[in-house]
Amino acid sequence: MSVRAFKFFVVEGTKSFFKNGLMSVASVVTVSMCLILCGLYVIFSMNLNYAAKQVETNYEIQLFIEEGTSDTRIADIGKELNGIDNVNTVVFVSKDQAFNQWKEGFKDNLAILEGLEDDNPLRDSFKITLHDLKQTESTMSQVNNIQGVAYVKNNKDSIDKLVDLTGKIKNASFYFMVFFALISVFIISNTIRITVFARRREVNIMKFVGATDWFIRWPFVIEGILVGLIGAVISVLIVSQSYGYFLGTTGVLINSTIQLYEVAAVISPLVISLAGMGIIIGALGSAMSLRRHLYV
């Protein structure tokens, strides 16, 4: 396509967008509605991934050391733990540190701990986090084989369920997105079809003066892209504002160990995905709606 032709198509498509005032507004509203729902799903899946990641990185396994183990052996255990591939972080918690943390927990009722300070019943321990929770079982068998480890505290069953559930939600939301994108293209191509039907006479004239299919199609496609882009801008504004409002009002209800993305962090993915979807939906919708009128 020559630069001259491209300029002509852009000018024609833009002019036509403004000339078809009401129909353009109707198309933009339809695209915005679809993109708002898509945007909500983008934020939902982003936060779901983020939450799952946090659960995985914050998940700790605690290994308690046998009573009477020497400091040298404890240091070796730390080295052995660091040597296991799937182990991410290793933190040593001495029995004194554990007792102090315990005290912190009971600070309003310290009488319960009276007498225990001289005879600390707690053990030295290591807290480890893993790279990949799916490999918990094999990592656990390696950890259990380390000499000097008395026992291991591990919520593996509940973690398995969580990993399984987030996987299922991710899959379901992906299929829902694909389904929803298809529905959007269908709705939008029908809305644009009404615009094209109103201008079928114009298309017919173009055919008789010798315009090629693409010469006719391009201004419509550019108009569709414009509809998609304006719809994307509107939906990004609405979705990001609503998300900000949601964070402001419900932030306190969410468990403090799970963080949600800040509004600023979701803007770029929202703009990229919704503008991309808007452009594709608008362009595809226009091109598809025109097809029938081009065979004259």
Partner 1 sequence: MIFFNNVTKRYDNGTVALDDVSFFIDKGEFVFIVGSSGAGKSTITKLILCEEQPTGGTVLINGINLKDLKHREMPFYRRQIGIVFQDFRLLPNKSVYDNIAFAMQVRNATTKEIRRAIPNVLSMVGLSHKAKVRPGQLSGGEQQRVALARAMVNNPPVLIADEPTGNLDPATAFDIMQLLEDINKRGTTVLTVTHARDIVDKMKKRVIEIDNGTIIRDGVGGYANECKSF
CB of 203 to partner 1, least distance (A): 11
CB of 183 to partner 1, least distance (A): 31
Q: Which stretch binds partner 1 (CB under 8 A): 166-174, 190-198, 200-208, 264-272?
A: 200-208
- For residues 12 and 15, what is the distance between their CA atoms, to the nearest angstrom? 5
- Close Cβ partners of 42 (under 8 Å, ≥ 6 residues apart): 266, 269, 270, 273, 274
Give me the sign of the Cα torsion angle 205, 210, 213, 217.
negative
Using CB under 8 A, which of 200, 201, 291, 292 touches partner 1?
201
CB of 197 to partner 1, least distance (A): 16
Closer to partner 1 at the Cβ: 17 or 59? 17
For the chain, count helices (H), then strands (E): 9, 4
- For residues 69 and 81, what is the distance between their CA atoms, to the nearest angstrom? 16
DSSP-derived secondary structure letter, 66:
P
Residues 212-231 within binding reach of partner 1 (CB under 8 A)? 212-213, 215
Q: Which stretch binds partner 1 (CB under 8 A): 104-112, 180-188, 199-207, 276-284?
A: 199-207
Residues 6-35 within binding reach of partner 1 (CB under 8 A)? 8, 15, 19
CB of 233 to partner 1, least distance (A): 26
Closer to partner 1 at the Cβ: 7 or 161? 7
Q: Which residues of 264-273 are buried (b: 16+ CB within 10 A; e: fewer)?
A: eebeeebeeb
Task: Burial-class residue 278 by CB neighbours within 10 Å (0-12, 13-18, 19+).
Answer: buried
Using CB under 8 A, which of 3, 255, 257, 295 touches partner 1?
295
Nearest to 159 by CA among 182, 179, 198, 129: 129
- The site that binds partner 1 (CB under 8 A) totals a number of residues, namely 21
Closer to partner 1 at the Cβ: 3 or 253? 3
- For residues 152 and 126, what is the distance between their CA atoms, to the nearest angstrom? 10
CB of 293 to partner 1, least distance (A): 13
Using CB under 8 A, which of 22, 209, 252, 253 touches partner 1?
209
Closer to partner 1 at the Cβ: 175 or 295? 295
DSSP-derived secondary structure letter, 80:
H
32 in the Ramachandran plot: left (φ > 0), alpha (ψ -120 to 50) or beta?
A: alpha
Closer to partner 1 at the Cβ: 150 or 296? 296
Structural tokens at position 101: 């943390």
> Considering the rule CB under 8 A, would residue 175 count as an interface residue with partner 1?
no
Using CB under 8 A, which of 112, 205, 254, 272 touches partner 1?
205
Largest CA distance in the chain: 101
Using CB under 8 A, which of 3, 145, 208, 249 touches partner 1?
208
The footprint of partner 1 (CB under 8 A) covers: 2, 4-5, 8, 15, 19, 201-202, 204-213, 215, 295-296
